[in-house]
Amino acid sequence: MSDAAVVAEQATDHVEDEHAGHATSLNLSNMKLAMWLFLGSECLLFGALISTYLLSKARFLTEILAGNPVVVDSISNPTLVEEMRAAGSVEPLFDIPFTSLSSFILLMSSLAMVLAHKAISEADYKNLRIWLGTTALLGSFFIAGQIAEFTAFKEEGLSFTGSLLGSAFFTLTGFHGIHVSGGIVMLMTLLVLSFKGKLNQDRAETVELVGLYWHFVDVVWVLIFTIVYLIP
């Protein structure tokens, strides 16, 4: 049974293959396949949240335009309500130039993420740390911008518990913010691992996977920014 010996030879590190980017049926590492599946699932999560926002906004606006007193009172600032009624949309709430800037910062972080992945592929650990740090920093700027925006909206009269629009807006953008924050934690973890010398070229795929997640979160923001802020 010499065949069996060959087969046994091939079989010995079957389970261990989970860490390697080879010898899987699809020639795609398990981790990468799993990350894509996870992101596919996340699409439906954000899809449902965005649908919820669109429905809630439409219902809110209908009631505002019809002058439903309960919904009008749900915004504590009467001027904002008047502006919304005049514009026929919730547009007056938003500060488009400010959010455009923070969106730009988030998109640039994706560039930094790509450069981090390139650096680790080339075993350029100095640049890896620089770009991982830059990505995390730009992400943090975005989160800071979101906190500033939330505070401003609260002062303008939109509250989470007060109105339907507030519940929907803060839940959707908050969910996205939590995703970005989770990404920042992952990036910082990678950075610490790199400084401890535990993130070398063999681990390039780890950086790539965090990158996949990070780019996905950015793409979701492009959708949210367009659908929530730009389309009246």
Partner 1 sequence: MAIFNEPLRYSLPEGDKPGVANPLGVFSRPRSETGLKDWLTTVDHKKIGIMYGSAAVFFMLIGGVAALLIRIQLATPNSNFLSADAYNQVYTMHGTIMIFLVVMPIGAAFANFLLPLQIGARDVAFPRINAFSFWCFFLGGLMLNSSWFLGGGADGGWFNYAPNNGVAYSPSHGIDFWNVGLLITGIASLSGAINLITTVLNMRAPGMDLMKMPIFVWMSLVTQFLLLFAIPVITVAQVLLLMDRVFDANFFNVEQGADPLLWQHLFWIFGHPEVYLMILPAFGIVSEVIPTFARKPIFGYPFMVFSGIAIGFMGFGVWAHHMFVSGIGPLSVTAFALSTMFIAVPTGVKILNWVATLWGGKLTLNTAMLFSIGLITQFTVGGLSGVTHAMAPSDTQQTDTYYIVAHFHYVLFGGALFGFMAGFYFWWPKVFGHMLNEKWGKWNFWTMVVGFNLTFGPMHILGLQGMPRRMQTYDDAMGFNLWNFWATVGSFILASGVLLFITNVFLSLYRWNKAGKPNPGPDPWDARTIEWSIQSPAPEHNFDYDPQIVSVDDFWHQKYAEDENGKLRKVAHGADIAQPGNGEGVHLPAPSYWPLLLAASLPLIGYGLIFSLWLTIPGGFLMVVSLYGWALEPADDLDLPHGHDDHKSDHAEIASTVNV
Q: How far apart are CA 99 and CA 121, in angstroms?
A: 34
122 binds partner 1 (CB under 8 A): no
- Do residues 135 and 187 lie in contact, with contact meaning Cβ atoms separated by under 8 Å? yes
Structure tokens at 187: 């990036």
Per-residue mark of binding to partner 1, 125-164 (x: CB under 8 A) = -----------------------------------xxxxx
Among 157, 166, 177, 183, binds partner 1 (CB under 8 A): 166
For 59, 216, 229, the CA distances from 111, given in Å and listed in that order, are 38, 13, 23
Instruction: Report 4-63 residues binding partner 1 (CB under 8 A).
Output: 4, 7-22, 24-26, 28, 30-31, 33-34, 37-38, 40-42, 44-45, 48-49, 52, 55-56, 59-60, 62-63
For partner 1, how many residues bind (rule: CB under 8 A)?
Answer: 67
**Phi-psi domain of 67 (left: phi exceeds 0; alpha: psi -120 through 50; beta: other):** left
Instruction: Report 174-203 residues binding partner 1 (CB under 8 A).
Output: 175, 186, 189-190, 193, 198-200, 202-203
The minimum distance between CB 141 and partner 1, in angstroms, equals: 23
Closer CB to partner 1, 145 or 162, in the complex? 162
**Residues 6 or more apart from 74 whose CB is under 8 A from it?**
162, 163, 164, 165, 166
Q: How far apart are CA 206 and CA 202, in angstroms?
A: 9
Q: How many residues does the chain have?
A: 232
Q: Which amino acid is at 147?
A: I
Which chain residues interact with partner 1 by CB under 8 A?
A: 4, 7-22, 24-26, 28, 30-31, 33-34, 37-38, 40-42, 44-45, 48-49, 52, 55-56, 59-60, 62-63, 68, 70-71, 74, 160-164, 166-168, 171, 175, 186, 189-190, 193, 198-200, 202-203, 206, 209-210
